[in-house]
Amino acid sequence: MANLYLTEQGSVLRKKGDRLIVEKEKEVLLDVECHKIDAVLIFGNVQFTTQSVHELFQHGIELAILTRTGRLIGQITSPTTKNIELRVVQFKKYGDEAFKLGFSKSIVKGKIRNSLQVLRSFFYNHPEEDLKEEIEGLEKAENGLSQQNSLEGLNGAEGMAARFYFNAFGKMILGDFSFDGRRKYPAPDPVNALLSLGYTMVFNEISSLLDGMGFDPYLGYYHKIDYGRASLASDLLEEFRAPIADRITLRLINNRILKVEDFYNNPKGEGIYLKRDALKKYFAEYEDFINHEFTHPETKEKTCFRKCWRIQIENLASCIKLDKEYRPFFFAI
């Protein structure tokens, strides 16, 4: 099973028997069996027929619609049976301040520790880059989490850790690229563009999994409720930012898989984005990265990041049902 990324502008997604085809100007660009698809992601001006959506629903395949640059616009999901009992417990737990604080501490701890792992691994391989101050700053932030007794305090600790981390991240960028800090939409440089795209990709997949496994993705415990934002997906994204999106960014840049000329300035305003062929290359690297097998640090079984997302969501379901402490995902490089 894999995601299907449609980026060819002006193409059309159609149904043919139990298969999906992508056409452009009467030429078939892709022909694939539905049972091989986990989700379909449409970027920009790609059309789809009603019949193709019917076929997706029959196979339980979600359709996500994004801008050409990767910003999520919306998702079309099959109305499969939802786990209403889980959602009832999820909403009840929202009123449990002790649970929310404990869960949020675990999420932030996972994020900081995984960020530390990325820095330590890079420093081990590149001792000429002095990351000692940043590593010590993150260690201090992690050790101080036990003293935080409010979500506001956790936000402050997370923010301090992020400043140390992204200062170090700039030192880890090799070659022709530069990075002077994390900037969001619109991304002002290629590194920020790659980071934003990576976070969006993981966020979309976690949000879809939460919905498919019975959660309400919009009711989170660490991130505040905000109209139109899947706050619970934002919660679970935190522990996967560094081990997935950040490492993919470093891999693409430092291994010279992507180059400066693979990006372009938005002609209609601010922002830097990947060119079409480079975007396809990114998706191929992304799929390879998140499906690459490694040993799970806790279960000691072979796994991949896609499996880890499901494991963490199942853990969360168990926690809110049985009133257990949430154990974050710790990545061991």
Q: What is the pLDDT of residue 232?
A: 95
Fold of 2-76: Ribosomal Protein L15; Chain: K; domain 2 (3.100.10)
CA atoms within 13 A on the CB side of 314: 6
Q: What is the pTM of this model?
A: 0.84
DSSP secondary structure letters along 2-38: EEEEE--TT-EEEEETTEEEEEETTEEEEEEEGGGEE
In the predicted model, residues of the chain with pLDDT beneath 50 are none
Predicted pLDDT at 82: 61
Predicted confidence (pLDDT) per residue in 200-209, tens digit: 999 988 988 8
Give the phi and the psi of residue 324 in degrees, each rounded to 5.
-105, 160
Sorted by sequence, the CB contacts under 8 Å of residue 231 that are 6+ apart come out as 217, 218, 219, 220, 222, 223, 224, 225
Could you tell me if 235 and 108 are in contact, meaning their C-beta atoms sit under 8 angstroms apart?
A: no
Which of 285, 331, 279 lies closest to 309 in space, CA to CA? Answer: 331
Residue 164 confidence (pLDDT): 95
Alpha-carbon distance 48 to 64, whole Å?
12
Neighbours of 115 (CB within 10 A): 29
The angle, 0 to 180 degrees and rounded to 10, between the axes of the packed helices 97-125 and 132-143 is: 160
The confidence score (pLDDT) of residue 258 equals 94
- Tell me the CB-side half-sphere exposure of residue 150, using CA atoms within 13 A: 3
Specify the pLDDT at position 80: 57
pLDDT of residue 30: 87
CATH 1.20.120.920 domain position(s) in the chain: 84-322
Domain boundaries 84-322, CATH class: mainly alpha
- Cα 173 to its chain centre, rounded Å, is 21
CATH 3.100.10.20 placement within the chain: 2-76
